[in-house]
Structure 1
Amino acid sequence: MPKLTESIKRLLLSAILASSLCGPAAFADSYEDALSSARLGDTSQLMQLIARGVDPNTVDAQGSSLLILAAREGNLETVKALLKHRPKVSLRNAAGDSALMLAVLKGETAIVDVLLDAGAEVNHDGWTPLMYAAFEGRAEIVDRLLARRADVAALAPNGSDALMLAARNGHIDVVRKLLKTGIELDRKNDAGFSAETWALENGNTDIADLLRAERSRRQAAGNR
């Protein structure tokens, strides 16, 4: 019996030593595997890693969480699976982008819907989801954000609002939607452009005409 006991002790000590030696490497592998799974949409592997202890709020070197990476790459099922683990849905990376913002930027409407339903923040400082949607001309997503009370008066770091961005890039459908909110027409950004002058600067004369017509309509309504 004493020999058996010593043998068991040696086995236990060997196991503990092996665990202490390979632990950091195993953790590093799990970390990289989790990031890769989120990017590639390998939902099954990512869920296994989380079940084994990987933090759902793991971030990469740029501060992008697993949720941000999955949303950015359009991995809807991975986003849905991650949300079941209650991650920080409105976390923003070093560039100031959240999962919702990057889903908007890429036009991933289904992911936008899922994130909005999960309570993703719509209004905050800096660039916002609405600004990204206006800049890219994502008309359907603009509707969804306005329905969630996106702030049309919010200003980007360069002083531009959503109307200016849509006008600059020639997205007349988005301009029309924003005009219905009563958004300010003559605000100017840090470069001195209003929505109208920025539209003209980029050859978007149809949008400039629309903005002038809206200004006239508002003035007429105000004189009644």
Structure 2
Amino acid sequence: MLIAAIVLTGCTEPSEPTVNLHRAVEIGDIDQVSRHIYWKSDLDEPDAGGDPPLHVAARAGRVAITRELARNGADIEAPNAAGRAPLDVALQNGRTQVAEMLIEQGAPLDAQVTLFELIEAGGIKRETLNFLLDAGAQLDKPSSSGEAPLHIAIRNGHLETVRQLILAGADVNQPAGDGRLPLRIARESAPGRDARFIVSTLERNGARAEPPP
């Protein structure tokens, strides 16, 4: 019986990993990731760029690997070098399936705050915008500075985000906290590659430069 137990143990114990954990996550090698988990690798150790394995999985859209890491003790709220949690990274990259799984595992989400942060940081993917709206974010709700998401996108010259917000139903004539309408903000913003296209996009969608008398 003892010999049988030894043989069984030898057959079921996985080999030690042969691929770096972050690389295994990046390429989607769940066998290597499982080996790292079995052999007690540090699941929160950042790579050279400051991203722990969960962040790598979130960025790459590795749903199954993200689930395995989270279930085996990886910190689902740990910040990377840029201060972003895995859920933030998933949403920034349009990985909504990963985001759903992380929320199921207990990751907190303030949909409105996340909407503001992603637009301020450089835009938002359509999948993420729809995800956040479904999670309770409001398109025309102003931030503490008085800017709605559309105002922020215009100020930062994010043409594609402006288009996405308008398609989702953002009010093109909602005044910002300083009273300026989106079209006026666009016309007064510093000129950039997409500035004139933002102006024309707003105009085509019924935006006014000044409120009606």
Q: TM-score, normalised by structure 2?
A: 0.63
Q: Relative to structure 1, is the Cα distance of residues 178 and 48 closer, same or farther in structure 2, using a 3 angstrom cutoff?
A: farther
| Pairwise CA distance, 1:99 | 1.9
Counting aligned pairs with the same residue, the percent is 19
Question: Of 164, 168, 191, which residue of structure 2 is paired with 1:173?
Answer: 164
Provide the residue aligned with 1:132 in structure 2: 118
Instruction: Number of aligned residue pairs: give it.
Output: 181
User: Highest Rg: 1 or 2?
Assistant: 1
Q: Which amino acid aligns with 1:65?
A: P
| Structure 1 residues 172 and 94, CA gap change in structure 2 (3 angstroms) | same
2:132 corresponds in structure 1 to: 145
Task: Please give the root-mean-square deviation of Cα atoms over the aligned residues, in Å.
Answer: 4.1
Structure 1 position 214, deviation (Å): 11
Measured at CA, do residues 118 and 186 of structure 1 come closer, stay the same or move farther in structure 2, by a change above 3 Å? same
Q: Which moved more, 1:35-44 or 1:53-62?
A: 53-62
The residue aligned with 2:40 is 53
Match of 2:61 among 67, 74, 84: 74
Q: What amino acid does structure 1 have at the position aligned with 2:79?
A: R
Letter paired with 2:165:
V
Q: C-alpha separation between the residues in 1 aligned to 2:202 and 2:36? A: 53
Give 1:61 shift. Answer: 4.0
Distance 1:79 1:211, change over 3 A: farther
The runs of 5 or more residues in structure 2 that have no matched partner are 1-15, 190-194
Out of 73, 77, 101, the residue aligned to residue 90 of structure 1 is 77
Instruction: Supply the AA of the counterpart residue of 2:202.
Output: A
Match of residue 176 from structure 2: 186
For residues 51 and 34 of structure 1, the distance between their equivalents in structure 2, rounded to whole angstroms, comes to 12
**1:69 Cα deviation after fit:** 0.8
Richer in helix (by share): 1
The CA deviation at 1:174 is 1.6
Cα distance in 2 between the residues matched to 1:32 and 1:161: 46
Between the aligned partners of 1:215 and 1:122, the Cα distance in structure 2 is 36
2:148 touches 2:176 (CA, 8 Å); kept in 1? no
Structure 1 residues 65 and 51: alpha-carbon distance in aligned structure 2, compared to 1, 3 A threshold = same
Residue 162 to residue 33, structure 1, CA distance change in 2 (3 Å): same
Mapped to 1, the partners of 2:21 and 2:199 lie a distance apart of 48
| Cα offset, 1:215, TM superposition | 8.4
Question: Structure 1 regions of 5+ residues with no counterpart?
Answer: 1-28
Given that 1:133 and 1:141 are in contact with CA atoms closer than 8 Å, whether structure 2 keeps it comes out as no
Tell me what 2:199 maps to. Answer: 205
- 1:38 and 1:155 map into 2 onto residues whose CA distance is 38
